[in-house]
């Protein structure tokens, strides 16, 4: 195989610009809101209630946020497990985004925990309940965050010239890669299993024993969708050449996985006889079809090899996949969730402005971190035209 790609290098450039300034302001607003939350309780800043005990801090920041952070997992699997070395230049940028997504999802959980000072109980043998799906999710995500920092550490070692450390790490890289494949498989599926214990409160369009498989398949597909999205955004923001020769075949892999997902999804609905709920003419049914349209849209956008070479279409397909992932998780956890199974009515939830600002602030923190690290550390492939430093 021809070595047609370049080693990663820092992008360079100023860290103080409009984008980083806006991120800084959003982060400051988030910190102020969090101060109120920790002094006065969850009710002071959120619209959470006993009908909807989980809001966007759980469903968006953790469930959706971690799925969006599956780029590292999806690309690493392609490169190291399926031995498709040509995608190697995509690994570090994808891993970096995953690193931030997961680390912040892990930190974000603390904001939502009503009794956060006890959070370590989840890892303590006397307290931990292995029957709980959330226990599995928490342990697995924590382990994965550590594994990802280790996987990414060569970027730091290179920057600081720590050759020995890098070599030592390279010797065990294969094991880290294996762990980095298995752990997301475990918790991305378990994030779906979280709703099983909620039983009949979840609409049958999402309440199925196959939900772990559906969440896992979409997490992988979303991983590729996010890479498409990020590659296009990074190329445009840093005025770099877009890696179409890599994104085109990767998008094909993504479509394949997406097709598998859609077959399982509709097969399950048909076998369980649950498809009728999709034709009930209510908000839940509408939300189901929006979710489905987002997942079907990429076939209309990038079915042909020619269309997969169009950055615009790749970008749109990535966005469609991400929207599908958002809707599937919002639907399963919030829109398709009926507190008290239709007999305990009157519960409503829509996030408050402060709640939204915290979620936006967390996203700003991810973007800021991504900018700082890509400008200062070797992450993105070196560009011949624009030499760093």
Task: Kindly state the tokens that stand for 254.
Answer: 């993504």
The residue with tokens 């979710």 is 291
Nearer to other proteins, 86 or 310 (CB): 86
Nearer to other proteins, 281 or 342 (CB): 342
Q: Give alpha helix (H) positions in the chain.
A: 18-40, 56-58, 65-68, 71-76, 88-112, 133-159, 163-193, 211-237, 244-272, 283-302, 311-330, 353-376
Nearer to other proteins, 133 or 255 (CB): 133
Q: CA 137 to CA 149: how far, in whole Å?
A: 18
Instruction: Considering only the stretches 16-24, 64-72, 131-139, 295-303, report the one whose residues sit in contact with other proteins under the rule CB under 8 A.
Output: 131-139
Nearer to other proteins, 272 or 290 (CB): 272
**Any contact of residue 167 with other proteins (CB under 8 A)?**
yes
For the CB of residue 29, give the shortest distance to other proteins in the complex, in Å. Answer: 20
Instruction: Considering only the stretches 27-35, 48-56, 240-248, 288-296, report the one whose residues sit in contact with other proteins under the rule CB under 8 A.
Output: 48-56
The 333-362 site mask, x for binding other proteins (CB under 8 A), equals ----x-xxxxxx------------------
For the CB of residue 86, give the shortest distance to other proteins in the complex, in Å. Answer: 7
Nearer to other proteins, 20 or 240 (CB): 240
Q: How far is CA 17 from CA 22, 97, 372, in A?
A: 9, 20, 11
Contact with other proteins (CB under 8 A) among 213, 251, 317, 326: 213
**Any contact of residue 266 with other proteins (CB under 8 A)?**
no
Contact with other proteins (CB under 8 A) among 82, 266, 279, 289: 82
Q: CA 365 to CA 133: how far, in whole Å?
A: 28
Q: Which of residues 7-46 bind other proteins (CB under 8 A)?
A: 7-8, 38-44, 46
Count, residues near other proteins per rule CB under 8 A:
88
- Residues 352, 53: contact at Cβ < 8 Å? no
Instruction: Considering only the stretches 25-33, 107-115, 291-299, 316-324, report the one whose residues sit in contact with other proteins under the rule CB under 8 A.
Output: 107-115
For the CB of residue 25, give the shortest distance to other proteins in the complex, in Å. Answer: 26
**Half-sphere exposure in the Cβ direction for 239 (13 Å, CA):** 5
For the CB of residue 250, give the shortest distance to other proteins in the complex, in Å. Answer: 15
Residue 238: closest CA among 71, 11, 17: 11
- Complete DSSP assignment for 200-267: GGB-TTT-STTHHHHHHHHHHHHHHHHHHHHHHHHHHHTT----HHHHHHHHHHHHHHHHHHHHHHHH
For the CB of residue 14, give the shortest distance to other proteins in the complex, in Å. Answer: 27
């Amino acid at each position: 195989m021809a070595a047609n790609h370049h080693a990663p290098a820092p992008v360079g450039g100023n860290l103080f610009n409009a984008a980083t300034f806006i991120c800084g302001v959003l982060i400051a607003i988030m910190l102020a809101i969090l101060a109120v939350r920790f002094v006065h309780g969850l009710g002071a800043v959120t619209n959470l209630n006993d009908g909807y005990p989980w809001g966007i801090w759980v469903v968006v920041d953790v469930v959706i946020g971690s799925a969006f952070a599956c780029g590292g997992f999806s690309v690493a699997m392609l490169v190291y497990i399926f031995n498709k070395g040509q995608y190697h230049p995509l690994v570090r940028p994808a891993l970096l985004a995953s690193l931030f997504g997961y680390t912040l999802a892990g930190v974000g959980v603390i904001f939502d925990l009503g009794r956060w000072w006890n959070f370590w109980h989840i890892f303590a043998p006397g307290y931990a309940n292995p029957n709980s799906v959330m226990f599995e999710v928490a342990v697995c995500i924590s382990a994965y965050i550590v594994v990802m920092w280790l996987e990414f550490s060569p970027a730091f070692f290179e920057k600081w010239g720590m050759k020995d450390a890098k070599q030592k790490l390279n010797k065990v890289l294969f094991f880290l890669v294996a762990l980095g494949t298995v752990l997301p498989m475990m918790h991305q599926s378990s994030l779906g299993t979280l709703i099983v214990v909620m039983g009949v409160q979840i609409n049958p369009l999402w309440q199925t024993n196959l939900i772990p498989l559906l969440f896992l398949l979409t997490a992988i597909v979303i991983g590729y969708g996010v890479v498409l999205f990020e590659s296009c955004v990074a190329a445009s923001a840093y005025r770099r050449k877009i890696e179409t020769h890599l994104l085109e075949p990767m998008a094909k892999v993504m479509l394949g996985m997406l097709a598998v997902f859609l077959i399982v999804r509709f097969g399950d609905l048909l076998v369980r006889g649950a498809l009728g709920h999709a034709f009930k003419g209510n908000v839940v049914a509408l939300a189901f079809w929006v979710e489905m349209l987002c997942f079907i849209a990429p076939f209309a956008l990038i079915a042909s090899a020619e269309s997969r070479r169009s950055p615009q279409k790749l970008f749109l397909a990535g966005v469609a996949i991400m929207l599908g992932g958002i809707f599937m998780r919002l639907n399963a956890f919030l829109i398709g969730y009926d507190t008290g199974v239709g007999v305990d009515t009157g519960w409503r939830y829509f996030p408050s402005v402060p709640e939204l600002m915290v979620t936006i602030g967390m996203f700003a923190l991810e973007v800021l971190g991504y900018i700082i690290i890509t400008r200062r550390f070797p992450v993105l492939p070196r560009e011949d035209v624009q030499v760093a430093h």
